[in-house]
Amino acid sequence: MFELQGVSHAYDEAEVLHVDAWQAAQGEHWLLLGPSGSGKTTLLHALAGILRPAAGTVTVAGQDLGALGAQLLDRFRGQHIGIVLQRLHLIPSLDVAHNLMLAQYLAGLPQDRQRVDEVLAGLDLADKGSAKPHELSFGQAQRVAIARAVVNRPQLLLADEPTSNLDDARCLQALELLQAQATACNATLLIATHDQRIKSRVAQHYDLGARA
Ligand code: ADP
Ligand code: MG
């Protein structure tokens, strides 16, 4: 479902990432492990097409991301990839439902309020559609970010350190929500984390630290 071949990246000539070869199949759940600074976020951004790596090929759902121009890449990301970044990036002036509808619009998909309401209900946010982001708790805001990431039924769901700010109970809840949402879309799930609490709960691991 995604495939990395000879992917490397450098900032100011210092190499921060190197992946010889890595393949994940549709529907698999993966952890991307490694200590702080090992390149997890950089790799997640490369898989999302937010960052073009200095070298190598990133293929998602059969599409070589490097072959797409900026506009097509934005469209492709919107339709095929869901991302929950560390900063949630909700639009503060839009209510929750319109944050999700914006994700549909930016992906070039029809605005589907029914799908928005269905996703919000599935994340225990049924009564938050008209709330503004500042009216939410952190946990609720994070669930809105997950809702926005899955509203377009992505084939690849990426999350960057989704549990690092959470206590033990909420940590497991967030992980289970991501897994359930990925399973519902048959999406491949990749969670970048250095959170030891979730290590045993996801089947497949790719460890950037072990390869450094
Ligand atoms: P992780 O997510 O595993 O903590 P990152 O991918 O964020 O790692 O960072 C990997 C390395 O690249 C770190 O040494 C970091 O300081 C550096 N780095 C990340 N982003 C930038 C940037 N925009 N400019 C320069 N260096 C960066
Ligand atoms: Mg990071």
pLDDT tens by residue, 26-44: 999 999 999 999 999 999 9
Regarding the beta carbon of 181 and ligand 1, being less than 6 Å apart is answered: no
Among 7, 11, 160, the mutation site with the greatest number of ligand 1 atoms within 8 A of its Cβ is 11
pLDDT tens by residue, 6-33: 999 999 989 999 999 999 999 999 999 9
Distances (CA, A) of 70 to 66, 75, 84, 200, 211: 10, 9, 20, 38, 31
Averaged confidence pLDDT in the chain:
94
pLDDT tens by residue, 178-187: 999 999 999 9
Angle, alpha carbons 145-149-16 (nearest 5°)? 90
Residues within 5 A (CB) of ion ligand 2? 40-41
Q: Quote the pTM value.
A: 0.94
Read off the pLDDT of each residue in 126-134 and give the average, rounded to a whole number: 97
CA-nearest residue, atom 14 of ligand 1: 37
Q: Which two tokens stand for residue 133?
A: 């982001």
Where is 159: in which H helix or E strand? strand 156-160
Regarding the beta carbon of 39 and ligand 1, being less than 6 Å apart is answered: yes
pLDDT tens by residue, 76-89: 999 999 999 988 99
Q: Which two tokens stand for residue 12?
A: 């100011």
Note the pLDDT of residue 211.
52
Q: What does the DSSP 8-state code read for residue 168? A: H
pLDDT tens by residue, 40-63: 999 999 999 999 999 999 999 999
Read off the pLDDT of each residue in 97-115 and give the average, rounded to a whole number: 96
Q: How far apart are the first and last CA of the chain?
A: 25
**CA 39 to ligand 1: nearest atom:** 6
Question: Among residues of the chain, what percentage have pLDDT more than 70?
Answer: 99
| Structural domains of the chain, ranges and CATH numbers in brackets | 26-39+69-211 (3.40.50.300)
pLDDT at 170 over 90: no
